[in-house]
Amino acid sequence: MYDIIVVGGGPAGLTAAIYAARAGKRTLVLEKESIGGQIVNSPLVENYPALPHISGAELANSMYEQVCALNVEVGSEEVTGLSAIPGGYAVATDIGGYEGRAVVLATGVRHRQLGLPGEDELVGSGISYCAVCDGAFYEGRDVAVVGGGDTALQDALFLSNICRKVTVLVRRDRFRGEAKLAEKLRERANVEILFGHTVEAFETRDGLLCGLTVKNAENALRSLAVDGLFLAVGQEPAGAAFANLADTDAAGYFAAGEGGETKTPGVFVAGDCRAKKVRQLTTAVGDGAAAALGVCDWLDAL
- Residues with catalytic roles: 130, 133-134
Decide: 11 and 271 in contact? Cβ < 8 Å. Answer: yes
Give burial (CB, 10 Å; 0-12/13-18/19+) of 299. middle
d(CA 253, CA 249): 5
Under DSSP, the state recorded for 248 is B
Q: Which residues, in sequence order, are CB contacts of 128 under 8 Å at separation 6+? A: 134, 228, 229, 230, 231
Following CA atoms 207, 209, 212, 213 in sequence, which dihedral angle do they give, to the nearest 10 degrees?
A: 0
d(CA 26, CA 102): 11
- In the three-class reduction of DSSP (H, G, I as helix; E, B as strand; rest coil), residue 298 is classed as helix
In one letter, which amino acid is 123?
V
Q: Residue 32: phi, psi to the nearest 5? A: -80, -20
d(CA 165, CA 140): 8
| Torsion sign over Cα 150, 156, 157, 158 | positive
